[in-house]
Structure 1
Amino acid sequence: MTDQDNKAISRRNWLGAMGKVSLGTGLIAVTSHTFGAGRLPQVKATGNDMGARVYNIRDFGAKGDGKALDTAALQTAIDTCNKEQGGTVLVPAGVFVIGTVELKSNVTLHIAAQGKLLGSADGRQYHASDAIPLDIGWTMNDGNVGLIFAANAENITIEGNGIIDGQGAQFRSDTKGVLPPAGITGNHRPYHLLFYQCKNLTVRDISLINSAYHSVRVCLCSYVKMEGLYIRGKVIHNNDGFHFIGSTYVHVSNCDVQSQDDACALFGSCKFVTVSDCSFSTRWSVFRFGGGEAENIMVSNCLIYETYGCPIKMRCSPGSRFENITFSNLVMKDVTGPISIGLGTAKSSVNKVTDTPGIIRNISFNNIQATVVKPVPLRGSEFASKYNPGEIFSCITLNAMNDVYLENISFNNVDVTFPGGGTAEHASVRDVPKVAGEYYQIGIPPAYGMYARNVRGLTLHNIRFAMTSPDMRPALILDNVQDATVNGLSAQGQKNAESLLRFINTQDILVTALRVLTPVTNLLQAEGSTCANIKIEGGDISKAGKALVVTSGASTQAIRLRE
């Protein structure tokens, strides 16, 4: 070996030197021993990396053995990162058991691919956040406990390909009145992630497994991104996926959610929201709206499957307003419902004072393919569900009442196959309960395809209703509907049923390009003395034995039929 070779620095020695990183600074600790005395001066920390350092929780005492409690180590790492102008708190490979932890401003919590934060099964390890009130205006005192929470923070991120496991089954008791193994229940249970009045919030790429409550609860936050999340929660009755309350500029994309309760609830004044390219399955609803002023919301390019509680459900009580909301490019496979909009006159638990009527207007549904089924046990759920008659026999429901109307509701390019099974007794119902709570509370709807009551400005364009077994109910019922256009409706009917269509006290209706797909006894049954200006023009109604039946004071003069 030559002198020149002796003086050379080997690649192995160089990599060894590069691997010596100063804790908390990220700077390479270059020593005279590494390169030979006097070869290079020692590099000193200059603070140039403030706000970009990596804080490994093992360096703060975390064990990661799945047994030791690592809450304090994780919290200390977060506090240090926050104090030093932010950076990344790293959860490396290992299983780290934690209780309640607070995430703070300018901190990115990165969970490595083989890292797991495991919620403690001991309920004493969780505590409420004093900064998060129980009543924020649109919720029902749903608790303020988080496994990880942030309040009044900004520029926070949770990311990585790791896992947050809430051990939710430990918080469920199968015996009423008996505490679960964790020792806490109800609103004392922790959410996976709880955020309150945060700005610039991002959660991406992580797996959220078996929460003790909702997986992601976002309250009064702005500029929120939820990207690439994998959520699984079917171990407790109210395992929601996302629960947004009064939040703005919210964007959800590329998420896969299987939940026991609402998969993506939007309560309160949620505005400027997009949900796209996601898949959902749940026992209850996917998109659930309740209270407040929800507006400027777009849901697109989503797959909804095995959902046995109505994929799209809106409940608007006095003092609330839902406006400018669009659903487009949705596939619904094996669902009940599938769409229910209710505008009620009774005060709700979130709007207890006002008598101002609620408002629902400018809602559209575009390019939707749905297969409706009778509900079955939810796959993967750890307990059985009971189903109501209105869930077993369901349809698209637009339901307002008294002097309150839905306004400007449109359906374009919608194809739905229903399971059938409705009887003549189901079809005979005229006194549909005037309630706008859960969609099944009106009982078994008298239509198999769509029941619309108290709607002004209804548009149905290129709609197809089919059934997999006989159903004696009409395909479409318009009850006290004003100003409706039905263009290109194709529907199956039943030979011995009353009619394919039923219009009750309905005015200013234009039906064009109607196609009767199977033989029916009667095309249209008009009921009520206020029916007026109903026109049916064009299409193929050759399979209808009789075009028109009028009852309950309706007049043939109110209907004009032109083939």
Structure 2
Amino acid sequence: MLYNIKDFGAIGDGVTKDSASIQRAIDYCAEQGGGTVMVPKGEFLSGTIQLRSFVELHLTPAARIVSSTEKSDFIAPAEEEAAQLSEGQGSRALVCARHAKHVAITGLGTIDGRGEHFLEPEDGVSDYVLEPLVEFRPKLIDFEGCTNVVFRDVTLYRASSWGLHMTGCNQVTVDGVKILGQVRGPNNDGIDPDCCKDVHISNCHIETGDDCIVIKTTKYGAERYGACENITVTNCTLQSHDSAIKIGTETHADIRNITVTNCVIRNSNRGVGIWVRDGATMENMLFSNLFIETRLFSNDEEIKRTLRWWGKSEPIFMTAERRNTPNAPAPGTIRNIRFDQLLIESEGCIYIEGSEESRISGISLRNVKQTMRVKSGYPGGVFDTQPSARGVFQHPIPAIFLRYADDVTLSDVEVKWGEERNAHWSNALYGEHLEELQIQGFRGKAAQDSLSVINLQHVQGLAIERTKALPGTGVYLSLLDTEVSEQDLQSCSLSHAAIPIERT
């Protein structure tokens, strides 16, 4: 059955609050056993509306549900609000569902969060994070504990906080959704599967200030729903001032079985980010057929603001270390992560770093072409491991940085440098405190002629095969407390290097 919200009193003039009318249509549809609630042409001003089981909310192409800006128009269960506020989240949203099944939001219409009303004005030229004008910023969509959920074709516009947050949901399809967020808005995530299972995200276009797609296990979600697992992301175009694909930072339960394929990431601060901070295991992840373009978005030495973006143009960022909070737990575990067929342009490095207490393991980079290219005009020369005790700190920037990792394979990886060179760029590959490092078919030069192409320190179990020094190379391989077998090097061609191996 099809139910038009105007038949339940909705006006759609953008002034009259239609929350009660829309909710009456949804409730009546559910009482009849389910069906479709249609939002016709018009601008329907609304506070919180809640979907019920077996109800599809369908927005026609000229339909627009427009968010109220008044806190009193948004409701949430008291116990849920208190629990989530303790984590700094809050649970109030424009459209929500709780423990529903067979629910959907579909159609070519728009859900408008009016996020610009919650932030300082945009100047049109800067990159820094906009400051919130008010403490209250509702999510656009918030589903919890739902099963068999579909989001299809709808446009989510300018959320003031998270766009589409799902906690403890199972069997979810997100297909053809457009998320046009505030590209300088804090907490302006696109899609957040939180402790969800069997989620399929495909054919989406997402532009956000914060992370486009975030797979996480918050404390609230972990205590109620457990692990986040079996997530696929495919055929999406993504743009973010933070991470396009982020896994973590919140890891209060395990995250596993993730695939990301056939996606275009452009004009972003980070491409793929994987953080473990709260003691869980993150494992079994595949990333393939990706174009990743990243750039620097701010200079922390020049711009002193309360909020700042995380990231320094890393196409891949993987880190396991403790938070910078009192009595922070051991970070947890990252293992079995594979990258294949990546085309990268970036100002920052591929960054993979564990810690002495949490070594990353089972990492593979195969068929990767990385071009380091100046894009932003910002000076760079810093690493950013937030949230951590180290935070943001100065460091030379190699194309690939490895530290505290085991069982790492680089196979058919190529590094190139743009004609203009950042003064902080260094080796093609820098690694230290590694075990079982395999380098196969590596190709590239250092950013500066005075530096070695590959600099390895304190590495055990190094194997180098099918690797060639390019003409004009000075030092190819610099080793400190690291041995490599002559048998391995026989399959390499290092004759073009002035100094094939330098032991220090």
The bucket for the TM-score relative to the shorter chain is 0.7 to 0.9
For 2:342, which of 368, 376, 387 is the aligned residue?
Answer: 368
Take 1:498 and 1:416, find their aligned partners in 2: how far apart are those partners? 19
1:404 aligns with 2:354: no
More relative contact order, 1 or 2 (CA 8 Å, 6+ apart): 2
Cα pair 2:444 2:470 within 8 Å, conserved: yes
Cα pair 1:495 1:519 within 8 Å, conserved: no
Aligned to 1:242: 191
For 1:358, which of 328, 332, 337 is the aligned residue?
Answer: 332
Moved more, 231-240 or 452-461: 231-240
Aligned to 1:340: 317
Amino acid at match of 1:372: S
Aligned to 1:152: 99
Instruction: Please state how far the C-alpha of 1:496 moved relative to its aligned partner.
Output: 3.2
Aligned to 1:487: 440
Amino acid at match of 1:364: R
Take 2:368 and 2:392, find their aligned partners in 1: how far apart are those partners? 24
1:326 is paired with a residue whose SS is strand
2:450 is paired with a residue whose SS is coil
1:517 aligns with 2:467: no
Amino acid at match of 1:399: E
1:539 is paired with a residue whose SS is coil
Cα pair 1:57 1:90 within 8 Å, conserved: yes
1:548 aligns with 2:495: no
Amino acid at match of 1:315: W
Take 2:278 and 2:434, find their aligned partners in 1: how far apart are those partners? 21
Write the deviation string for residues 137-169 of structure 1: whole angstroms up to 9, x where unpaired. 9x9331101100011111100001111111111
Cα pair 1:314 1:341 within 8 Å, conserved: yes
1:418 aligns with 2:376: no
1:163 aligns with 2:110: yes
1:295 aligns with 2:256: yes
Instruction: Please state how far the C-alpha of 1:131 moved relative to its aligned partner.
Output: 6.4
Take 1:210 and 1:173, find their aligned partners in 2: how far apart are those partners? 14
Amino acid at match of 1:363: I
Instruction: Please state how far the C-alpha of 1:513 moved relative to its aligned partner.
Output: 1.4
Cα pair 2:81 2:92 within 8 Å, conserved: no
Aligned to 1:104: 52
Q: RMSD over aligned Cα, in angstroms?
A: 2.8
Take 2:61 and 2:290, find their aligned partners in 1: how far apart are those partners? 32
1:122 aligns with 2:70: yes
1:457 aligns with 2:410: no
2:80 is paired with a residue whose SS is coil
Amino acid at match of 1:73: S
Amino acid at match of 2:18: D
The TM-score with structure 1 as length reference comes to: 0.76
Aligned to 1:380: none
Write the deviation string for residues 210-235 of structure 1: whole angstroms up to 9, x where unpaired. 11111101111111110000110116
Q: Does the C-alpha gap of structure 1 residues 344 and 396 become closer, same or farther in structure 2, counting only changes over 3 Å?
A: same
Instruction: Please state how far the C-alpha of 1:437 moved relative to its aligned partner.
Output: 3.5
2:88 is paired with a residue whose SS is coil
1:277 aligns with 2:239: no
Cα pair 2:426 2:448 within 8 Å, conserved: no
2:76 is paired with a residue whose SS is coil
Write the deviation string for residues 27-72 of structure 1: whole angstroms up to 9, x where unpaired. xxxxxxxxxxxxxxxxxxxxxxxxxx11110000111112211111
Take 1:286 and 1:165, find their aligned partners in 2: how far apart are those partners? 22
Runs of at least 5 residues in structure 1 that lack an aligned partner in the other structure? 1-52, 374-393, 552-563
1:142 aligns with 2:89: yes
1:230 aligns with 2:187: no
Amino acid at match of 2:30: N
Instruction: Please state how far the C-alpha of 1:314 moved relative to its aligned partner.
Output: 1.1
Cα pair 1:135 1:141 within 8 Å, conserved: no
Q: Does the C-alpha gap of structure 1 residues 230 and 315 become closer, same or farther in structure 2, counting only changes over 3 Å?
A: same
Instruction: Please state how far the C-alpha of 1:104 moved relative to its aligned partner.
Output: 1.1
Instruction: Please state how far the C-alpha of 1:526 moved relative to its aligned partner.
Output: 1.0
Cα pair 2:274 2:318 within 8 Å, conserved: yes
Aligned to 1:467: 417
Take 2:341 and 2:325, find their aligned partners in 1: how far apart are those partners? 33
Write the deviation string for residues 394-419 of structure 1: whole angstroms up to 9, x where unpaired. 20111012242111100110001002
Q: Does the C-alpha gap of structure 1 residues 274 and 440 become closer, same or farther in structure 2, counting only changes over 3 Å?
A: farther
Take 2:320 and 2:31, find their aligned partners in 1: how far apart are those partners? 49
Cα pair 1:317 1:347 within 8 Å, conserved: no
Take 1:527 and 1:179, find their aligned partners in 2: how far apart are those partners? 49
For 1:306, which of 267, 271, 275 is the aligned residue?
Answer: 267
Q: Does the C-alpha gap of structure 1 residues 316 and 148 become closer, same or farther in structure 2, counting only changes over 3 Å?
A: same
What is the percentage of aligned positions where both structures have the same residue? 26
1:169 is paired with a residue whose SS is helix
Take 1:361 and 1:286, find their aligned partners in 2: how far apart are those partners? 21
Q: Does the C-alpha gap of structure 1 residues 361 and 136 become closer, same or farther in structure 2, counting only changes over 3 Å?
A: farther
Amino acid at match of 1:406: I
Take 1:358 and 1:82, find their aligned partners in 2: how far apart are those partners? 43
Q: Does the C-alpha gap of structure 1 residues 77 and 322 become closer, same or farther in structure 2, counting only changes over 3 Å?
A: same
For 1:330, which of 280, 290, 301 is the aligned residue?
Answer: 290
Instruction: Please state how far the C-alpha of 1:114 moved relative to its aligned partner.
Output: 1.2
Runs of at least 5 residues in structure 2 that lack an aligned partner in the other structure? 123-128, 218-226, 296-312
1:544 is paired with a residue whose SS is coil
Give the aligned length: 459
Take 1:134 and 1:245, find their aligned partners in 2: how far apart are those partners? 18
Instruction: Please state how far the C-alpha of 1:238 moved relative to its aligned partner.
Output: 2.0
Aligned to 2:305: none
Take 1:197 and 1:437, find their aligned partners in 2: how far apart are those partners? 29
Instruction: Please state how far the C-alpha of 1:318 moved relative to its aligned partner.
Output: 4.9
1:63 is paired with a residue whose SS is coil
1:81 is paired with a residue whose SS is helix
Amino acid at match of 1:201: V
Instruction: Please state how far the C-alpha of 1:436 moved relative to its aligned partner.
Output: 6.5
Amino acid at match of 1:460: L
Q: Does the C-alpha gap of structure 1 residues 541 and 445 become closer, same or farther in structure 2, counting only changes over 3 Å?
A: farther
Amino acid at match of 2:404: N
Cα pair 2:321 2:354 within 8 Å, conserved: yes
1:332 is paired with a residue whose SS is strand
